[in-house]
Structure 1
């Protein structure tokens, strides 16, 4: 499936604003500035469907995109950006946690990490929490175009080891040269087919 027919539905700031149908949902999570919006735009073959900003912390709600009338991509607010006020960070945390814990339509979470960086504590905490909650996830290592092939392989192996991730459960990705796009779409489709709502 090539996700060309996509529409923005809602930016939800409360659980009672979430779509009421039963379509599976794939959530996209990551630290601020890891290239989440660029990844979504590359997956969907759009330039500005998900707004790309040089200012971290711009996404403040759960942004729902309806894809091919068959599933939702849910863009979650980035985490770990210090300049966002504590009250706002706390409310984001409550909203995201409640969504992830209670949403039966949630088929899985795509956890996005910058391939150039080492293991980050916030990413580790999220992955540990998802495992504890038995929520399926897929790791994506972005900005692969910034590294040579050997560096890419080495960094991916370091992140795999640091997070306890199998190479089969992650994708090395670049929104610049579209490396990993087809593989990621394939894995996302499998996540959607295994939805907890089914």
Structure 2
């Protein structure tokens, strides 16, 4: 593999916005992180960037109310989208956040791919499937991360991974599925490889999917 990858440790917070009109220039490439409000999205971003508090984590799901932007370089950004399946929040906030999420996905021209995070113990709930199906319909590449992989034993992780991959085998390379653990760090190489590929780095050769980020060592 050509050593031309992004140093995600250089990520820095750029802005928080209630809608796309406050996001800044719609140029370059953005990769969005999306998932239910308890899927471990902030933990995954912090693990990726090796920064403990780049993305705010909370024991109370639904606290991420804004679209958060993290700059990697002048042309590439990570986007932390409001969690969907919002928990204990008022209905008017749910509608507001859902509108901002839908608007971003449909209208943001620089969106180059989506990382959909799902708790490995409860994958492919209705909203997760809707998100992935929408991306497939729009020919937008998806990395489905089965988070909290350390919560299951190796055999159960493997079985869940294969089951979810089978769900999307007909769409080929458009959807890639991997097990991820912020605690144990497995799945991190696959996440980095996928991001480098879809940020369209020149001469970057992606690593193949792996079935072996599943051991506890």
2 CA distance for matches of 1:24 and 1:14?
A: 18
Q: 1:97-123, CA deviations, whole angstroms, 9 ceiling, x for partnerless residues? A: 111111111111100111122431111
Higher relative contact order (CA 8 A, sep 6+): 1
CA RMSD of aligned residues (A): 1.9
Distance in 2 (alpha carbons) for counterparts of 1:44 and 1:70: 17
The Cα offsets for residues 142-170 of structure 1, whole Å up to 9 and x where unpaired, read as: 11111111111011122233455769712
TM-score normalized by structure 2?
Answer: 0.83
Are residues 1:51 and 2:65 paired? Answer: no
Q: 2:84 aligned with 1:79, yes or no? A: yes
Q: What is the alpha-carbon distance in structure 2 between the residues aligned to residue 166 and residue 114 of structure 1?
A: 23
The alignment covers a number of residue pairs equal to 194
Question: Residue 133 of structure 2 aligns with which residue?
Answer: 128
Residues 49-108 of structure 1: per-residue CA shift (max 9 Å, x gap): 101100000100100000144411000011112322211111111111111111111111
Where structure 1 has 5 or more consecutive residues not aligned to the other structure, the ranges are none
Give 2:111's aligned residue: 106
TM-score (norm 1): 0.90
Shift of 1:136: 2.0
Match of 1:181 in 2: 188
